[in-house]
Amino acid sequence: MIRSHTFFLLSSAGLKKILLLSVAVLTSINLFAQKLERIEPMFWFTGMHNPKLQLLVHGDHIAASSVALTYPGVKLVKVNKVENPNYLFLDLEISPSAKAGKFPISFSLNGAKQTYTYELKNRDQSKGRIQGVTNKDFIYLLMPDRFSNGDKNNDVIKGLTETALNRDSMYYRHGGDIQGVINHLDYLKDLGVTTVWMTPEIENDMPHASYHGYAATDHYKIDPRYGSNELYKQYVETCHAKGLKVIKDVVHNHIGTGHWFYKDLPMKNWLNQWPKYTQTSYRDQPVMDPHASAADKKQMLDGWFVPSMPDLNQTNPYVQNYLTQNHIWWIEYAGIDGLRLDTYPYNDPAYMADWAIKIHAEFPNLSVFGETLVSSVASQAFFTSGNTVNRGFDTHLQGITDAVLKDAIYEGLNGKSGWTDGINRLYATLAQDFLYKNPNANCIFLDNHDMSRFYSMVNEDFDKYKEGMAILLTMRGVPQMYYGTEILMKNFSNPDGLIRSDFPGGWNGDKENKFIANGRTNKENEAFTFVKTLANFRKSSAALQNGKLMQYVPQNDVYVYFRYNNQAKGTVMVIVNPTEKEKSLTTDRFSERIKGLTTAKNVITGDNINLKEIKIPAKTTLVLELN
């Protein structure tokens, strides 16, 4: 009774005051809810070919705000609200006359205002940036977590989901980082490498086994266990200063479930959604099959790669803008020379063609190749530029990862002789190069981070190892070698972790240091020297850098091909004998390429060779420079 009476007196005397206070409190709470959390891209560049820019704005109920900006040459064309009130997408138009500088973007609600200071930077016109990667180059593929630990301070980062560091496990983080790669660039340069490709460096804040980098959780941030955005830029600049190029590995198809926008999707169709979890079929055929069902094609393109990697919906224009702008941002910011596109066949074809046009409009010299782990030359060629008759449009994809050629080399080294088997498989595979607009743009390789290592695949036969490496470094296309192949690192891909072992010597306290000759065995030094000799020979051989390929039908299980240009001098003759017996080769049938020359230099040994009749030891690839 007393409490009731007290309330009545209070409400009667101060009702107006309480109501005003309540409104103020609610307004304060509401304004607090308009918290601006991020804008991406966080800054942009003047002088871009495309004047349009779409900013993703994220913040708690940010869509309730009104947006304004004023800066000469920058126009806010449209404010896009989407399903999730925590997002806005701002369409800007940047005039060619816009100057570099900073300006505020304001977000207002009920008289309260938040601002984000946006910046336009000048494009970097320095020489040596965005050079492109060609068949003059030799790519070294490495996994930063497994190559070298250059900074122990970033081994474990508080606040990230995975804080375990365990080199005894193949699936935990090992502590390798960008600084570790920088520390060993001279090693790569000495080896004859011209280009470095790391598996993705951007943040992968996933609970387990995300060291590989293919489950992004922040597209604009280098994983702090590898370093920082600034360190990545420094890494690229250091590579360029040493005469090395840089390839960045990017993923269009999927993200990780730890991604910040997966946890708060802008809209339901930001991802490819299914009534129940549906995994891709991993079959590329429905994408190109004229008889394919729509259901099969949809499952291939829209099915999720694995449960922890949600599939992005690349038919969504907001997703398209986000991905394309992100890649443009990294290229311009860091000055990288090429891109490797992960899981290329799983992406929406129309979007990828549009992506390529927009990327090359900004960076005409940039090189791009797509991962296509498929089973035939025709399937690979289907995805490359120039196949407009079969596709109805041009993909504008310069090259692919040539897995079919890789398989043919293995067959040539390990298979038994037959009409289409053994070394004849390699010949027949190259004979189908007519399907490509430019086969020289293909990335050729013997292994990578997803498959058994080359040395194991030839049963640790050192002669076959040298045979294969000689083919790789003299063949058409852009050769790529997986880290550690030069020191005979081995293992099979089941389980995958074994093929991703640490490079010995990359960590302080390692019992062995394979980065230096004294730390390697005699056989490892022989392998290193073999690769180094051929790789550095490529740097001086115009025939290998930009020459044509002419091959001859294998006879007596001996396969011969030439790399040549308009001059007979400097022509490279490659002779492959995969058999267990020494072979003798007379050279009359090669007269159109030898052109009367009588001697050649063995590139590996330096010996002079009489071209009239050549002895080829068993399981040997001879590399001869005609002189």
CATH number for the domain that contains residue 460: 3.20.20.80
* 391/505 same-domain check: yes
Quote the longest CA-to-CA distance of the chain: 121
If one counts every other C-beta atom within 10 angstroms of the C-beta of residue 101, the result is 15
Whether the Cβ atoms of residue 135 and residue 59 lie closer than 8 Å to each other: no
Selection from 373, 397, 375, 371 nearest residue 384 by Cα: 397
Burial 238-272 (b: 16+ CB within 10 A, else e): ebbeeebbbbbbbbbbbbbbbbbbbeebbeeebbb
Is the model's pLDDT at 359 over the cut of 90?
A: yes
Tokens describing residue 371: 């991962």
pLDDT digits (tens, 9 = 90+) for 387-439: 888 888 999 999 999 999 999 999 999 999 999 999 999 999 999 999 999 99
Q: What is the pLDDT of residue 526?
A: 98
Is the model's pLDDT at 617 over the cut of 50?
A: yes
Selection from 425, 497, 500, 413 nearest residue 457 by Cα: 413
Find the helix packing angle between 423-430 and 403-414, rounded to 10°.
150
If one counts every other C-beta atom within 10 angstroms of the C-beta of residue 37, the result is 12
Distance, in Å, from the CA atom of 564 to the CA atom of 572, rounded to the nearest integer, reads 6
Q: What is the pLDDT of residue 37?
A: 96
Q: What is the mean pLDDT of residues 565-593?
A: 93
- The pTM assigned to this predicted structure is 0.94
Distance, in Å, from the CA atom of 228 to the CA atom of 348, rounded to the nearest integer, reads 31
Q: Residue 367: helix, strand or coil by DSSP? A: strand
| Residues in the chain, total | 627
Average pLDDT, the chain: 94
Q: Which spans in 335-443 are helix H?
A: 349-362, 377-382, 388-391, 403-414, 423-430
Q: Which spans in 141-268 are helix H?
A: 144-147, 178-183, 185-191, 229-241
Q: Residue 75's domain spans which residues? A: 36-121
Q: What is the pLDDT of residue 16?
A: 44
Is the model's pLDDT at 512 over the cut of 90?
A: yes
Which of 467-476, 525-534, 561-570 shows the lowest mean pLDDT across its residues?
561-570
Q: What is the pLDDT of residue 152?
A: 97
Distance, in Å, from the CA atom of 622 to the CA atom of 585, rounded to the nearest integer, reads 12
Tokens describing residue 493: 């891909």
Q: Of 544, 577, 612, which residue is a domain's last?
A: 544
* 247/164 same-domain check: yes
Region label for 76, one of left (φ > 0), alpha (ψ between -120 and 50) or beta (otherwise): beta
Q: What is the mean pLDDT of residues 549-575?
A: 93
Distance, in Å, from the CA atom of 205 to the CA atom of 160, rounded to the nearest integer, reads 6
Q: What is the pLDDT of residue 27?
A: 40
* 529/551 same-domain check: no
Whether the Cβ atoms of residue 370 and residue 341 lie closer than 8 Å to each other: yes
Q: What is the mean pLDDT of residues 321-328?
A: 98
Report the DSSP beta bridge partners of residue 57.
39, 88
Is the model's pLDDT at 29 over the cut of 70?
A: no
Percent of the chain with pLDDT over 70: 94
CATH of the domain at 41: 2.60.40.10
φ, ψ for residue 44 (rounded to 5)?
-140, -170
Q: Evaluate whether residue 575 is within a structural domain.
A: yes
Q: Evaluate whether residue 322 is within a structural domain.
A: yes
Q: Evaluate whether residue 128 is within a structural domain.
A: no
Q: Residue 77: helix, strand or coil by DSSP? A: strand
φ, ψ for residue 479 (rounded to 5)?
-70, 140
Distance, in Å, from the CA atom of 192 to the CA atom of 449, rounded to the nearest integer, reads 21
Q: Of 93, 121, 149, which residue is a domain's last?
A: 121
* 324/193 same-domain check: yes
Q: What is the pLDDT of residue 12?
A: 37
Q: What is the pLDDT of residue 166?
A: 94
* 399/365 same-domain check: yes
End-to-end CA distance of the chain: 114
Q: What is the pLDDT of residue 627?
A: 83
Region label for 250, one of left (φ > 0), alpha (ψ between -120 and 50) or beta (otherwise): beta
φ, ψ for residue 388 (rounded to 5)?
-70, -30
pLDDT digits (tens, 9 = 90+) for 169-204: 999 999 999 999 999 999 999 999 999 999 999 999
Whether the Cβ atoms of residue 363 and residue 334 lie closer than 8 Å to each other: no
DSSP state, 316? S
Q: Evaluate whether residue 582 is within a structural domain.
A: yes
pLDDT digits (tens, 9 = 90+) for 79-124: 999 999 999 999 999 999 999 999 999 999 999 999 999 999 999 9
Q: What is the mean pLDDT of residues 587-604?
A: 95
Three-state secondary structure string covering 464-504: HHHHHHHHHCCCCCEEEEECCHHHCCCCCCCCHHHHHCCCC
φ, ψ for residue 460 (rounded to 5)?
55, 35
pLDDT band at residue 568, thresholds of 50, 70 and 90?
low
Q: What is the pLDDT of residue 31?
A: 42
Q: Structurally, how many domains does the chain consist of?
A: 3
* 471/603 same-domain check: no
Whether the link from the prior residue into 41 is cis, omega within 30° of 0, is yes
Whether the Cβ atoms of residue 253 and residue 347 lie closer than 8 Å to each other: yes
pLDDT digits (tens, 9 = 90+) for 195-235: 999 999 999 999 988 999 999 999 999 999 999 999 999 99
Q: Which spans in 541-621 are helix H?
A: 542-546, 591-594
Is the model's pLDDT at 469 over the cut of 50?
A: yes
Whether the Cβ atoms of residue 562 and residue 570 lie closer than 8 Å to each other: no
* 579/470 same-domain check: no
CATH of the domain at 606: 2.60.40.1180
Q: Evaluate whether residue 97 is within a structural domain.
A: yes
Whether the Cβ atoms of residue 33 and residue 60 lie closer than 8 Å to each other: yes
φ, ψ for residue 11 (rounded to 5)?
-70, -30
* 143/203 same-domain check: yes
Q: What is the pLDDT of residue 15?
A: 37
φ, ψ for residue 554 (rounded to 5)?
-60, 140
Q: Dump the DSSP string for 332-357.
A: HHH---EEEETTGGGS-HHHHHHHHH
Q: Within its chain, how far is the Cα of 576 from the centroid?
A: 32
* 454/585 same-domain check: no
Q: Evaluate whether residue 432 is within a structural domain.
A: no
Q: Evaluate whether residue 300 is within a structural domain.
A: no
Whether the Cβ atoms of residue 338 and residue 367 lie closer than 8 Å to each other: yes
Show which residues are catalytic: 342, 371
pLDDT band at residue 34, thresholds of 50, 70 and 90?
low
* 584/486 same-domain check: no
Residues in contact with 331: Cβ distance below 8 Å, sequence separation at least 6, in sequence order: 130, 248, 339, 359, 362, 363, 366
Is the model's pLDDT at 18 over the cut of 70?
A: no
Cα dihedral across residues 227, 232, 237, 241: positive or negative: positive
Is the model's pLDDT at 324 over the cut of 80?
A: yes
Q: Of 513, 544, 575, which residue is a domain's last?
A: 544
Is the model's pLDDT at 342 over the cut of 60?
A: yes
* 485/531 same-domain check: yes
Q: Evaluate whether residue 603 is within a structural domain.
A: yes
* 220/339 same-domain check: yes
Residues in contact with 424: Cβ distance below 8 Å, sequence separation at least 6, in sequence order: 417, 418, 554
